[in-house]
Amino acid sequence: MSFLVSVIERRPATALAVFLAVHAAVWTLLPTLLYPNLPLDLIEALTYGREWQLGYDKLPPLPWWMVEAAYRAVGHDVAYYGLAQGAVVAALVTVWVTARPVVGPVGAFCTVLIVDGLHYLNYTAAKFNHDVIQLPFWALAGYAFHRALREGRMWHWVVLGAALGIALWAKYFVIVLALPLAAFLLIDRKARWTLRGPGPWVAGIVALAIAGPHLVWLVKNDFLPFAYAAARARPAQGLLDHLINPLKFLASQFGFLVPALLIAVPLAFDRSPAAEDESRYDRRIAALLAFGPAVTVTILSLISGRATVAMWGYPLWLFVGFWLVLRLQVPKPAMLSRMMTTWAAIIVVYALAFIANYAVLPSYDQRYRATLFPGAALAQTVSAGFREATGTPLAYVVADMWTGGNVGHYAPERPRVLIDGRPERTPWIATADLARRGAVLLWTQGDPRQIPDGLAAFAAGAKVMEPITLPMHRDGGTITAGWAILPPRS
């Protein structure tokens, strides 16, 4: 371990590159080997992304576009897991670049070690989604905000605006980052002076310009995705929820932070003298970046009483390591050695837990795991059955997102999915073309021999086929799907 410490001290950039390469390799390889089926978020991305819309009924389009681009460029599932790690690595590099001029290369390396203790950046980041893609843009916004306040260069303000604007295309959650940044400019006596210059205003204009096309789409579509967001955040059932819900969120985030805090423990011992006054400004900015968004989420929950989702914490803590190193001290070699040992132990635990969850436990706990779904077998069966019955390739599937999305991805024709049998959810699909080319109606709930009410609008002329029963991967269970063929019309 002492050799590694010396390498970090002498060649910090090389050490960081090796660290990130190992991180990306481990967390790309594990899901590639252990996920026989794509998880829900990726199936959803491949269903929506291929349509290249400016907006959808659930969330902004950026990660779905990226997954579709990865499919077209690589065409193998490993690309999606690599895409997730690319986002994580980009975020960690940005955190390191932010910290290095302030705490030095060793201190910056420790900020990355600490943050990497969060499961958000390894165990759960395997599933590329809207939460994961936030990471690099939040990190970039933090970097640009810090540099803009410390150096006052216009290009930092431009980068800040760009990061916030692109982040809106990733997830609307960026509002809880933008609000504390704006509040800091108003409240902090030193930061307030920047409002007399063009920088913050340029950042705002750049952000609005980049986010503009999607904002226009939102207005034209009556802010359609916000209904999904509201459904995720359960409304208050009483006055007590205004207290209970934010406390639940804080408790969940503290639990997720524990591994990162364990890595940082050595910093609390043998403390260095207090920093000079000039670095106090850095500490205030770091504190804002580390805690401002989480405080904003808590305040909003406190006011509205709405429940929060623990996984919203993905981007909230990217700068907590930066703040800890600034607040406590730049680590000495012995401290760095202990921090690396703790980090290694935590990552091994995460990796073993991942392996156990997807390779060992399915044989014992019988818990449903989407990644063990027989999506490829279902798609091949449905596709072959439609082609045999009609003599034409399968062009459309009418089904729920998960079932239809698996067929849409794994079937050789890659049919399009009319989600839940509701054309309003998929306005890019012309129902006249669907009727002309035919479709498969597919369901896994209810009677497999009876077309469910949700698909009834497309049931006229459809022939119900024998149910399909397929084994799940590894857990010994089975799934049964009902399906019907809507033949093409001349």
Find the mean pLDDT for residues 79-89.
96
Contact (Cβ atoms closer than 8 angstroms) between residue 86 and residue 132: no
What's residue 269's pLDDT? 78
How many Cα neighbours within 13 Å face the side chain of 335? 23
Question: What predicted TM-score, i.e. pTM, was given to this entire model?
Answer: 0.93
Q: In the predicted model, is pLDDT for residue 234 greater than 80?
A: no
Instruction: Please report how many Cα atoms fall inside a 13 Å half-sphere around the Cα of residue 193, on the Cβ side.
Output: 7
d(CA 375, CA 372): 8
> Of residues 88 and 227, which shows the higher confidence score?
88
What angle is formed at CA 265 by the lines to CA 255 and CA 294, rounded to 5 degrees? 40
The whole-angstrom separation of Cα 123 and Cα 148 is 33
- Please check whether residue 396 is in contact with residue 439, taking contact to mean a CB–CB distance below 8 angstroms: yes
Asked if residues 71 and 46 have their Cβ atoms less than 8 Å apart, the reply is: yes
Residue 387 to residues 114, 151, 310, 469, 483, Cα–Cα distance (Å) = 54, 64, 44, 19, 14
**CA dist list (Å): 187 to 34, 158, 243, 288, 303:** 49, 22, 26, 12, 21
DSSP state of 273: P
pLDDT at 274 over 60: no
Q: What is the mean pLDDT of residues 17-24?
A: 94
Q: In Å, how far are 149, 183, 192, 225, 298 from 188, measured between CA atoms?
A: 11, 8, 6, 35, 21
The type of residue at 414 is: R
Residues 2, 95: contact at Cβ < 8 Å? no
CA distance 381 to 402: 16
Query: What confidence tens digit (pLDDT) does each residue in 32-44 have?
Result: 999 999 999 999 9
360, 363, 389: which is closest to 484 by C-alpha? 389
What interhelical angle do 12-34 and 2-10 show, nearest 10?
120
Query: Quick one: residue 177, left, alpha or beta (phi over 0 = left, psi -120 to 50 = alpha)?
Result: alpha
- Rounded percentage of the chain residues whose pLDDT exceeds 90: 77
Percent of the chain with pLDDT over 70: 97
Quick one: pLDDT at residue 280?
87
H or E element at residue 17: helix 12-34
Res 278: pLDDT: 53
**CA–CA gap between residue 327 and residue 324 (Å, rounded):** 5
The Cβ of residue 452 has, within 10 Å, a number of other Cβ atoms equal to 17
DSSP string, 438-476: -EEEEE-SS-TTS--GGGGGG-TT-EEPPPEEEEPSSSS
Residues 6+ apart with CB under 8 A from 59: 130, 171, 172, 225, 228
pLDDT mean over 261-265: 94
Q: Which of 188, 177, 209 is nearest to 280 (CA)?
A: 188
CB 478 within 8 A of CB 470: yes
Query: What's the token pair of residue 161?
Result: 């605006």
Rounded to 5°, the CA angle 262-113-357 comes to 70
Predicted pLDDT at 1: 57
Nearest to 481 by CA among 400, 409, 367: 400
The residue ranking higher by pLDDT, 188 or 8, is: 188
Rounded CA separation 226/370 (Å): 26
Task: Give yes or no for residue 103 having a pLDDT over 80.
Answer: yes
**b/e code 149-166 from CB counts within 10 Å (16+ = b):** beeeeeebbbbbbbbbbb
pLDDT digits (tens, 9 = 90+) for 294-346: 999 999 999 988 888 888 899 999 999 999 999 887 777 778 888 999 999 99
Residue 462 vs residues 95, 179, 424, 426, 441: alpha-carbon distances, Å: 56, 52, 21, 21, 8
**Which residues, including other chains, have CB under 8 Å from residue 290's CB and lie 6 or more apart?**
317, 319, 320, 322, 323
- Across 308-424, where does the E strand assignment appear? 396-399, 416-419
β-partners of residue 482 are 443
